[in-house]
Structure 1
Amino acid sequence: MKTKNELLKERLQFIAEIAHEIRIPLAGIISFSELLLTPNLDRGKIIIYSNYINTCSSSLLELLNNLIIRSKLESQDGIVVNGILDLNLFLDESTKHFKMQSELSNTSLSTVYGLKGDASMIITDSLKLNVILNNLIGNAIKFTKKGKIKIGYLKRQNYLEFYVEDSGIGIPNEVKKNIFKPFYQVKNKVNSSGLGLSVTKSLVELLGGDIWFNSKQNIGTKFSFTIPYKQIIME
């Protein structure tokens, strides 16, 4: 059992980390917004500054979304709300906007379905599954500037195993043990709050599954996770 002082110290450290993570993209948004007000600014610089503002805004939104999810989990509001889900259709919808992003970075994104027809009709919490996939696919695109990303799932006994595989920069061996820790970031990785994987792990475990990864530097990374397979019997 932690003492009040230990809990207070952890809370203050957490607040300091949040403030630091918010300040970085916010400072970028303010700075480049001011630069856009420069008189007679040429179109090339307008595009560069606007893209940077968009990147910082996306990073800030990702951080805030993950903070909201984490706070709900810690306050025990992380309740699983199951519903009927067409898994293949869900995967199509979840990856649609990522395919547009990948095209901009000359990265191919493919989807592999492990089940067909009625077998892909399952019961799960679609919102939580969507957050998990968004975080993993978003990371794959972020750190794969050129190459390929494969997203898919397969059935193994009474559970489904999902995977997001990329040919990106990979994860150094010396930091692999820390990768799921809150606010942990691999050195030199930009536009990452370091909170996404921590939240992802918590959500996977909340759904009753496990998450792991295999990675080699300059070759790529494959994140895998499981959820129980609860099939809808169609009459």
Structure 2
Amino acid sequence: MKTIEELKELNRHLTIELSEARNARDRAEAANRNKTVFLANMSHEIRTPLNAIIGFSDLMVTAGDEEERRTYAEVLESNCTLLLQLINDILDLAKIESGTLTFSEEKIGLNALLEQLTETMKIRITSGDVELSCITPPTECYICAERKMLSQVLINLLNNAIKFTDKGSICLRYEVHEEFLRFHVTDTGTGIPSDKVKEIFDRFVRLDTSKPGTGLGLSICQTIVERLGGNIGVESEPGKGATFWFTIPYHPVIG
């Protein structure tokens, strides 16, 4: 026969286990809902450029002149690029979340990496009213990090800035702190409404559907940064541009 104290202790353990079971059930149900929403959104996002590709392919066959064919070809190229980007983004996201994407750290010179990315991204700027620059410390900073993943985050953020900046400037820079590195991409673009800031890193969120994109780039950035052990965020004001920032642990190496 158990004592009253033993029964109370048993009841306490049962209450804890029941609470944990309910939490596990809620997490499983939430994950299932998220998966359903993700698959529905993905299906919609894939069909959109695919329908355009099929439709304009048919129109090209019956185009009356060279100018008309050129217009259709540009639409086809744009939608093919969007479809390829979407597929690549989904594959990257799946690899990261399933743990099959390997992270291989190597020695990186940050000044050299950021300057190289800046020069590469300048090609993607079509407006002559936008200046892309890079600000780096006077002394090269060497770290041990995952080059491909770090580059992908920076490229995604720069792509985002270029997309929403019609005139003004875009600046890429970083700061060295005692235990972490902080990267910034600042633009003078359209900015983000205050009520949309919290959802900007959610999957398939596109604040301006007139702009090309999959709505996965920022979500992938967040996933990568968190896997690298850092944080990511944004500071913005509508009409005054935005600053996307992220941190990663600082592991210096000798140059």
| Bucket of the pairwise TM-score, normalised by the shorter protein | 0.7 to 0.9
Structure 2 match to 1:155: 176
* Contact 1:210–1:226 (8 Å) recurs in 2: yes
* Contact 1:80–1:207 (8 Å) recurs in 2: no
- Equivalent position amino acid for 2:236 in 1: S
Superposed CA offset, 1:104-152 (max 9, x none)? 22221111113523xx221100111011111111111111122211111
Superposed CA offset, 1:200-234 (max 9, x none)? 11111111111111111121011011112212114
What CA distance in whole angstroms lies between the structure 2 residues aligned with 1:28 and 1:167?
32
* Contact 1:111–1:150 (8 Å) recurs in 2: yes
* Contact 2:184–2:245 (8 Å) recurs in 1: yes
Extract unaligned runs of 5+ from structure 2: 1-23
* Contact 1:169–1:220 (8 Å) recurs in 2: yes
- Aligned residues: CA RMSD: 2.1
Among 82, 90, 102, the residue aligned to 1:59: 82
Structure 1 match to 2:35: 11
* Contact 2:232–2:246 (8 Å) recurs in 1: yes
What CA distance in whole angstroms lies between the structure 2 residues aligned with 1:189 and 1:115?
40
Rate the CA distance shift 1:201–1:8 in 2: closer, same or farther, 3 A. closer
Rate the CA distance shift 1:157–1:192 in 2: closer, same or farther, 3 A. same
Extract unaligned runs of 5+ from structure 1: none
- Equivalent position amino acid for 1:34 in 2: D
- Equivalent position amino acid for 1:101 in 2: R
Structure 1 match to 2:110: 87
Among 208, 220, 225, the residue aligned to 2:241: 220
Q: In terms of Rg, which structure is larger?
A: 2
What CA distance in whole angstroms lies between the structure 1 residues aligned with 2:231 and 2:63?
54
Structure 2 match to 1:33: 57
TM-fit CA distance, 1:9: 4.0
What percent identity do the matched residue pairs reach? Answer: 33
Deviates more, 1:107-116 or 1:2-11: 2-11
TM, length-normalised to structure 2: 0.81
TM-fit CA distance, 1:61: 2.3
Superposed CA offset, 1:21-47 (max 9, x none)? 11112222333333333344243x444
Among 117, 121, 136, the residue aligned to 1:98: 121
Q: How does 1:1-235 map to 2 (within 5 A)?
A: 1-2=24-25, 7-43=31-67, 45-102=68-125, 104-106=126-128, 107-114=130-137, 116-117=139-140, 120-234=141-255
What CA distance in whole angstroms lies between the structure 2 residues aligned with 1:48 and 1:163?
37
Rate the CA distance shift 1:22–1:115 in 2: closer, same or farther, 3 A. farther
What CA distance in whole angstroms lies between the structure 2 residues aligned with 1:147 and 1:47?
31
SS across alignment from 2:197 = helix
What CA distance in whole angstroms lies between the structure 1 residues aligned with 2:218 and 2:61?
37
Superposed CA offset, 1:56-80 (max 9, x none)? 2232222222211211222123443
TM, length-normalised to structure 1: 0.87
SS across alignment from 1:144 = coil
